[in-house]
């Protein structure tokens, strides 16, 4: 099991580095590539990959400090992945306090059997140092922002950004929250059966949950005997694994039975399936996404959750939408930098830069501008992202209101977030350290008749 897990972890990190894939996609590709079916190996590899990726900046700086005058980037991807995993497993998982020479040697032997002794020949000399050297030296002679980034595992530019956005104290609280494991939330599917009956089924599956206040069907998972996706109640579509911030966005739209709704950037289906549930499978939902691969997942989820009113459409919202109809509600959850979801998607921290924020904001602007014409008089446009940057949120809304004076901001209920920034208090913001969920932004814009 151990060798398979390390093979998976090394190859997964290599794919992530080479093709900028997320942890989930890279691991899924590697499992298929190596044909590994041991669930224990997969779980161990997943933890190794996620926890190593989460601490990428600290680990790389520590390794480079030991490798001097060489650098980790000079080696092939397999060796890079091994060195990062080695430091995590021998040092960080031990909280840097305990030096386990025997474990370090066993891991080195595993790596030789996976990568070959020739591949590791150039780094053999530093494995002992990596397993024993203290990390404090890498924090010397660095700025306050870089030090904070190293201690909370965030890029320096992102630390600097949040110091300006939230103030130092609040920013550090949020960055530290990103170091913690995110709670798991499920949304019970009342399209299948009564909520109390679903709760009884969860008890049979040994899943313990607690109700989320102010949201209709959301629960926090307290404990589960088995992975949620392997339970009978999941397979039967009795619940959807969905962050409470995402559930909040659907409830903020407030669709009623009989509503005509346009769900833009709809895949993989979390929003569509909840909107249909809130509409009691009455009305119609046109779900648009540009990705055929993601829409294939959407179709499976729509079927699993027993949604009857959703129609899939392939289309890129950066262009005029592929239908001329006017909807009661248009919901746009565009691609974003995911800066609010770093604790769930740790590798995303290292894929984006400050420039990424501005580039993404332009894509979001094109999308929201294209959606405006599909909102009927008296209808609503709900805009949401899992980003905490103002460029992708309040500044998009400000620009939209200037270009489209027929729209105005509306109050959002329920009120579980904090007011929007830049004076847009009718918008709502969620933060990981305050609300125990993804960082999120929601604006509701009404087209006045």
pLDDT of 111: 87
Q: Is the peptide bond before 31 cis (omega within 30 degrees of 0)?
A: no
Per-residue model confidence as pLDDT tens digits over 181-239: 889 999 999 999 999 999 999 999 999 999 999 999 999 999 999 999 999 999 999 99
Q: What's the mean pLDDT when you consider all of the chain? A: 94
- Catalytic: which of 50, 371, 386, 437? 386
Helix, strand or coil, per DSSP, at residue 447 = strand
User: Looking at residue 100, what is its pLDDT?
Assistant: 76
Decide if pLDDT at 119 tops 90: no
Two structure tokens written together for 124 = 């053999």
Same domain, 385 and 427: yes
Q: Are residues 352 and 436 in the same domain?
A: yes
Rounded Cα–Cα distance for residues 46 and 5 (Å): 8
On whether both 195 and 294 belong to a single domain, the answer is no
Based on the fold, state whether residues 223 and 284 are members of the same structural domain: no
Helices (H), 68-100: 77-87
* Average pLDDT for 149-163: 97
Give the number of C-alpha atoms closer than 13 A to the C-alpha of residue 161, restricted to the C-beta side: 18
Q: Final residue of a domain: which of 224, 241, 258?
A: 241
Tell me if residue 386 is catalytic. Answer: yes
Q: For residue 22, what is the domain's CATH number?
A: 1.10.940.10
Are 211 and 117 within one domain?
Answer: no
For the record, the structure tokens of 286 come out as 């046109």
Pair (438, 302) in one structural domain: yes
The answer to whether residues 308 and 385 belong to one domain is: yes
Total domains present in the chain = 4
Of residues 21 and 397, more confidence is placed in 397
Same domain flag for 252 and 400: yes
pLDDT band at 126 (very low <50, low <70, confident <90, very high): confident
pLDDT level of residue 125 (50, 70, 90 thresholds): confident
Structural domain boundaries, residue 149:
144-177
Q: Which 3 state secondary structure label does DSSP give 244?
A: helix
Among 158, 177, 196, which residue terminates a domain? Answer: 177
Claim to verify: residue 189 and residue 173 sit in the same structural domain: no
| DSSP code string of 347-416 | THHHH--HHHHHHHHHHHHHHHHHHGGGEEEEEEEEEEES---STTTHHHHHHHHHH-TTEEE---SS--
Q: List alpha helices for 133-194, DSSP H.
A: 144-152, 156-166, 168-177
- Residue 231 sits in a domain whose CATH number is 3.30.70.1170
The pLDDT confidence band at residue 93, using thresholds 50, 70 and 90, is confident
Segment 318-330 mean pLDDT: 92
Pick the closest to residue 53 from 338, 354, 348, 353 (CA basis). Answer: 348
Residues 6+ apart with CB under 8 A from 355: none
Phi, then psi, of 444 in degrees rounded to 5: -120, 120
Residues 6 or more apart from 433 whose CB is under 8 A from it? 173, 174, 176, 177
Task: Give mean pLDDT, residues 274-292.
Answer: 97
What would the pLDDT profile of 379-415 be if each residue is shown by its tens digit? 999 999 999 999 999 999 999 999 999 999 999 999 9
CA atoms within a 13 Å half-sphere pointing along the CA-CB vector of 385: 27
Find the range with the poorest average confidence among 71-75, 167-171, 360-364: 71-75
Residues 95, 154 within the same domain: no
pLDDT tens-digit series, residues 300-315: 999 999 999 999 999 9
Is the domain of 163 the same as that of 310?
no
DSSP 146: H
Can you tell me the mean pLDDT for 146-168?
97
Query: Does residue 345 share a domain with residue 231?
Result: no
């Amino acid at each position: 099991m151990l060798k398979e897990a390390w093979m998976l972890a090394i190859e997964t990190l290599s794919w992530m580095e080479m093709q900028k894939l997320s942890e989930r996609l890279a691991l899924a590709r590697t499992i298929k590539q190596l044909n590994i079916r041991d669930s224990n190996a997969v779980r161990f590899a997943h933890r190794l990959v996620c926890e190593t990726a989460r601490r990428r900046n600290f680990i790389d700086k520590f390794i480079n400090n030991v490798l001097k005058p060489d650098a980790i980037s000079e080696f092939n991807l397999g060796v890079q992945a091994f060195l990062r995993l080695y430091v995590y497993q021998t040092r960080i998982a031990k909280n840097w306090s305990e030096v386990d020479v025997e474990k370090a040697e066993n891991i080195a032997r595993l790596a030789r059997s996976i990568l070959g002794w020739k591949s590791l020949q150039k780094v053999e000399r530093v494995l002992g140092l990596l397993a024993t050297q203290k990390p404090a030296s890498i924090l010397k002679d660095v700025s306050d922002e870089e030090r904070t980034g190293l201690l909370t595992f965030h890029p320096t530019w992102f630390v600097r950004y949040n110091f300006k956005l939230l103030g130092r104290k609040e920013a550090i609280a949020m960055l530290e929250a990103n170091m913690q494991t995110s709670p798991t939330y499920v949304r019970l599917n009342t399209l299948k059966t009564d909520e109390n009956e679903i709760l009884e089924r969860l008890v049979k599956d040994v899943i313990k949950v607690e109700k989320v206040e102010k949201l209709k069907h959301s629960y926090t998972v307290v404990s589960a005997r088995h992975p949620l996706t392997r339970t009978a109640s999941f397979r039967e579509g009795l619940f959807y694994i969905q962050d409470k911030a995402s559930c909040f966005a659907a409830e903020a739209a407030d669709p009623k039975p009989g509503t005509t709704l346009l769900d833009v950037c709809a895949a993989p289906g979390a929003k569509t399936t909840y909107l249909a549930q809130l509409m009691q499978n009455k009305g119609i939902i046109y779900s648009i996404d540009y990705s055929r691969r993601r829409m294939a997942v959407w179709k499976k989820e729509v079927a699993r959750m027993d949604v009857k009113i959703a129609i899939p459409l392939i289309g890129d919202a950066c262009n005029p939408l592929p239908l001329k109809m006017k909807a009661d509600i248009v919901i746009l959850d565009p691609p974003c930098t995911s800066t609010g979801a770093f604790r769930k998607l740790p590798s995303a921290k290292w894929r984006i830069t400050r420039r990424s924020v501005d580039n993404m904001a332009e894509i979001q602007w094109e999308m929201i501008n294209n959606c405006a014409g599909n909102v009927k008089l008296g209808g609503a446009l709900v805009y949401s992202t899992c980003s905490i940057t103002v460029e992708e949120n309040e500044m998009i809304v400000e620009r939209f209101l200037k270009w489209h004076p027929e729209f105005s901001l509306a109050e959002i209920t329920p009120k579980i977030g904090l007011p929007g920034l830049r004076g847009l208090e009718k918008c709502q913001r969620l933060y990981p350290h305050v609300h125990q969920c993804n960082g999120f932004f929601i604006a509701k814009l009404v087209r006045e008749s």
